[in-house]
Structure 1
């Protein structure tokens, strides 16, 4: 009788663990189901922070988004980037990334360029916090394409203000 009780408890524990793993899998799978992923972020622009549009360094703060697909072209139009406090940027123009291609979403004002792989937020305020933040990346459908959190002390080992997420 005692042996069956132990087996029943073990079976229950295994089943509970299996249910927890299955329940966690869809959220994890959804996060990485997109061809587009966050490659890395220059969250702390080099130099003294200044969000002055003319002389500041917000253009040196950027998020790199890469197409990790081996065959699909992906248009960024409608994709949304947000931070933990709700600051957001929506890609409103067509900008197609071929397999292996990337774009740097920069702060500040400038001219978007497919040739130079750059899109500007047209906003001179910094988006990413210098100590910690979470970056959310959403598909045009509203489903999550990717998400990453960073901390200056835990994620930026060399202290250069850049954190890589996907190779």
Structure 2
């Protein structure tokens, strides 16, 4: 009862002073996962070239970060998808310490926890340059995080990179 009275009083003071309360971002309330999509390099620098040898798909990447302060997370079983159903499953153990991140890159390469990189071993681009939606699912199938972007609305400096979380 007391908290409702305090909230009502604060709301009344803000309303009469012309101020509004700052709400938490909707994304924060939607998912309670330690892993979040940090950002995406959706447009690899240079002319798009998806040849496995000499192409630039390895320069297109998604960064996934562990935002927990105390929990180490194993990526094995996590799934990344786009709006059209392209998907990647982390099939190997890749552990992220609190505050650590990993870049999921296109193209072929050698996965490395030490270098914070996992390769999709697929030379096709996954993220659409005009816009896309990126989904991260837990091994249970529950949503961990998701974000949509558009080249014109989400990338004001036109560098092909969109940051979702700080």
Q: TM-score, normalization: structure 2? A: 0.83
Cα pair 1:30 1:145 within 8 Å, conserved: no
Secondary structure at the aligned position of 2:152 is classed as: helix
Work out which of the two has the higher radius of gyration on C-alpha atoms and give 1 or 2: 1
- The aligned counterpart of 1:66 is 65
Any stretches of 5+ residues in structure 1 without a counterpart?
1-26
- The aligned counterpart of 1:97 is 96
* CA-CA distance at 1:151 after TM superposition: 0.1
In the alignment, the residues of structure 1 paired with residue 132 and residue 40 of structure 2 have an alpha-carbon distance, to the nearest angstrom, of: 11
- The aligned counterpart of 1:164 is 163
Over residues 39-78 of structure 1, what are the superposed CA-to-partner deviations in whole Å (9 max), with x where a residue is unaligned?
A: 0000000000010000100000000000000000000000
Structure with the largest fraction of helix: 1
Map 1:26-45 → 2, pairs under 5 A = 31-45=30-44
User: Cα gap change, 1:100/1:28 in structure 2, threshold over 3 Å: closer, same or farther?
Assistant: closer
Give structure 1 regions of 4+ aligned residues with deviation exceeding 6 angstroms.
none
In the alignment, the residues of structure 2 paired with residue 29 and residue 142 of structure 1 have an alpha-carbon distance, to the nearest angstrom, of: 19
Q: TM-score, normalization: structure 1? A: 0.82
- The aligned counterpart of 2:125 is 126
Secondary structure at the aligned position of 1:129 is classed as: coil
Any stretches of 5+ residues in structure 2 without a counterpart?
1-25
* CA-CA distance at 1:31 after TM superposition: 3.6
Residues matched between the structures, number? 141
- The aligned counterpart of 1:4 is none
* CA-CA distance at 1:101 after TM superposition: 0.1
Map 1:112-151 → 2, pairs under 5 A = 112-151=111-150
- The aligned counterpart of 1:56 is 55
CA RMSD of aligned residues (A): 1.2
